[in-house]
Amino acid sequence: MRWRFRQISDLAASWAGHRVLPVALIAFVVVWTAVGLNFSFPRRWFLLTNTFCTLIAFFVVLLVQHAQNRDTKALHAKLDELIRSSEAGNHWIAAEKRDADAIEAMRRQHQAQISERQA
């Protein structure tokens, strides 16, 4: 199930980011407006438009968030492996899981080490 969701979300995210989508959306809006003008824009038309747009926007936000979370996790795993295989201190591994004060202390320590090396 999880594999299927990832496959569908990857396909939808790549489709949502395709360069043809803005042109298709503009064409859809033009057709939607023409049909609405033909029916004199009943109240249900506005309700349907607002509901449709809200659902699509919510869906795209969820897709982008899902893709961004997966990319961030992959990036952190790659960085952890680079740290592990280099001469850098292993205390930097999984730094993103620490609280903001601990990260700031690590950053200050790192800046101090750089300043010592330059002096």
Residue 89 lies in a domain: no
Amino acid present at 25: L
pLDDT at residue 85 tops 80 = yes
Distance between first and last Cα of the chain: 57
> If you average pLDDT over every residue of the chain, what do you get?
81
Tokens of 2: 């999880």
Please write the tens of the pLDDT for every residue from 22-39.
888 889 889 988 888 888
Sequential DSSP letters for 76-97: HHHHHHHHHHSSS-GGGTTGGG
Query: Any idea which residue has 């300043």 for tokens?
Result: 115
Please write the tens of the pLDDT for every residue from 61-73.
888 888 888 888 8
pLDDT of residue 119: 66
Domain extent for 10: 2-65
Query: Greater confidence, 119 or 70?
Result: 70
**16 and 60 in contact (C-beta within 8 Å)?**
yes
pLDDT band per the 50, 70, 90 thresholds, residue 55: very high
pTM of the model: 0.56
Residue 32 lies in a domain: yes
Residue 70 lies in a domain: no
pLDDT band per the 50, 70, 90 thresholds, residue 14: confident
Residue 48 lies in a domain: yes
Residue 37 lies in a domain: yes
pLDDT at residue 96 tops 80 = no
Q: How many domains does the chain divide into?
A: 1
Residue 86 lies in a domain: no
Amino acid present at 74: A
The burial of 78, by beta-carbon neighbours within 10 Å (0-12 exposed, 13-18 middle, 19 or more buried), is given as: exposed
**Of 34, 16, 12, 13, which is closest to residue 25 (Cα–Cα)?**
16
Residue 90 lies in a domain: no
pLDDT band per the 50, 70, 90 thresholds, residue 54: very high
